[in-house]
């Protein structure tokens, strides 16, 4: 018994000494710039398939994990749907309804809002899940400028494509030349700037939060980073996803609303032009009928005079 007690005391003393040394080691501040730089630089490796080398980075791996988590969450959310919705079904329907109502508020019609809702939700879920993983010390893909740039490019291509689908090329052209034709160069420039602003906004916010949290982990490695991470990793990550989705909806709504108004105004103009032509034709026909009637009356009076003379 005494031997077991001595062995346990010895192990506990060694454990406590090791724990204390490692705990104090965490508070030693080395080269902060070097440590932050090490955190910023992305991990990369190559996947060899035959003679082809595929670059695999930490952003790609985290994005794959995020997509898997999103798939499982969506699968869980829509499982066993019923007319009497469960709590998870209610949450999914609330999110879906919020996207639709927001899209309608931006100028889309209800059927259009229902068509864009899945893609808007995908943007939000992918960005939010990728950002939240940084809370677990996984590097967020958005700290690599390639990820925000790709998301911005996909977003603007989707915006243009779905807008043309909704209002046609004529309506899309109308959105570029309204309220006046000289606005065309500025509208084209706006379409170029929008994906750049989406990408830089996402990159700047996520990268800044990541650097701040790395700095916080270096100088105060215990407890405090976890509390700050709830905002800079979780809340800010979700906020950036909401902003990205919100702006994408607004871009689509802006084009479709103006496009529909342009098409309606063109149709109204055509109808007015047609009505004017119809009025002119009716006036000509009426004038022609009046002349014919006058001529007939004159001819009849002449015939009457001839008969009287006879």
Note down the domain range covering 89: 43-272
In a domain, 287, yes or no: no
Determine the pLDDT at residue 149: 93
Residue 91 falls inside a structural domain: yes
Q: Is residue 125 part of a domain?
A: yes
Four-CA torsion 80, 81, 85, 88, nearest 10 degrees: 70
Question: Is 192 inside any structural domain?
Answer: yes
Q: Is residue 296 part of a domain?
A: no
Tokens of 108: 């889309």
Q: Are 135 and 229 in contact (CB under 8 A)?
A: yes
pLDDT reported for residue 137: 77
Report the domain count for the chain: 1
Residue 23, in any domain of the structure = no
**Of 242, 198, 300, whose CA–CA distance to 102 is shortest?**
242
Please name the residues in contact with 35: beta carbons below 8 A apart, sequence gap of 6 or more. Answer: 214, 218
Q: Quick one: which of 180, 152, 157 has its CA closest to 247?
A: 152
Among 21-25, 177-181, 206-210, 249-253, the minimum mean pLDDT is found in: 21-25
Does the pLDDT of residue 266 top 80, yes or no?
Answer: no
Residue with the two structure tokens 């994990």: 65
Q: Please tell me the predicted confidence (pLDDT) of residue 243.
A: 93
Q: What is this structure's pTM?
A: 0.74
Percent of the chain predicted with pLDDT > 70: 75
211 assigned to some structural domain? yes
Question: Which pLDDT does position 310 carry in this prediction?
Answer: 57
Beta strands in the chain (DSSP E): 44-49, 52-57
62-73 pLDDT per residue, tens: 888 888 888 888
The bridge status of strand 44-49 relative to strand 52-57 is antiparallel
**In this structure, what token pair is assigned to residue 257?**
């609303």
Mean pLDDT value across residues 290-295:
71
pLDDT tens readout for residues 123-170: 998 999 888 888 887 888 888 888 899 999 999 999 999 999 998 888
Give domain status of residue 169, yes or no.
yes
Per-residue pLDDT band at 11 (split at 50, 70, 90)? low
């Amino acid at each position: 018994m005494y031997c077991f007690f001595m062995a346990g005391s010895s192990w506990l003393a060694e454990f406590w000494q090791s724990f204390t040394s490692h705990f104090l080691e965490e508070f030693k501040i080395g080269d902060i710039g070097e440590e932050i730089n090490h955190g910023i630089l992305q991990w990369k490796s190559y996947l060899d398939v035959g003679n082809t080398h595929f670059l695999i980075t930490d952003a790609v791996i985290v994005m794959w994990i995020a997509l898997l988590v999103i798939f499982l969450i969506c699968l869980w959310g829509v499982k066993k749907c019923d007319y009497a919705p469960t709590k998870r079904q209610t949450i999914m329907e609330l999110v879906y309804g919020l996207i639709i109502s927001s899209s309608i508020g931006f100028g889309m019609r209800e059927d259009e809002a229902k068509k864009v809702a899945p893609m808007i939700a995908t943007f939000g879920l992918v960005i939010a899940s990728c950002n939240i993983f940084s809370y677990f010390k996984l590097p967020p893909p958005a700290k690599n400028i390639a990820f925000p740039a790709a998301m911005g490019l996909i977003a603007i291509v989707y915006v243009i494509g779905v807008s043309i689908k909704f209002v046609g090329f004529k309506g899309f052209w109308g959105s570029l030349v309204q309220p006046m034709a000289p606005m065309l160069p500025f509208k084209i420039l706006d379409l170029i700037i929008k994906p750049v602003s989406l990408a830089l906004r996402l990159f700047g916010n996520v990268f800044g939060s990541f650097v701040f949290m790395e700095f916080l982990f270096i100088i105060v490695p215990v407890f405090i980073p976890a509390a700050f991470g709830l905002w800079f990793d979780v809340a800010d990550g979700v906020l950036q996803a909401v902003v990205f989705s919100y702006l994408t909806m607004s871009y689509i709504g802006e084009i479709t609303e103006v496009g529909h108004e342009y098409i309606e105004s063109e149709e109204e103009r055509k109808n007015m032009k047609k009505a004017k032509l119809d009025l002119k034709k009716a006036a000509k026909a009426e004038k022609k009928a009046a002349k014919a009637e006058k001529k007939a009356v004159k001819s009849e009076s002449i015939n009457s005079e001839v008969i009287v003379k006879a």
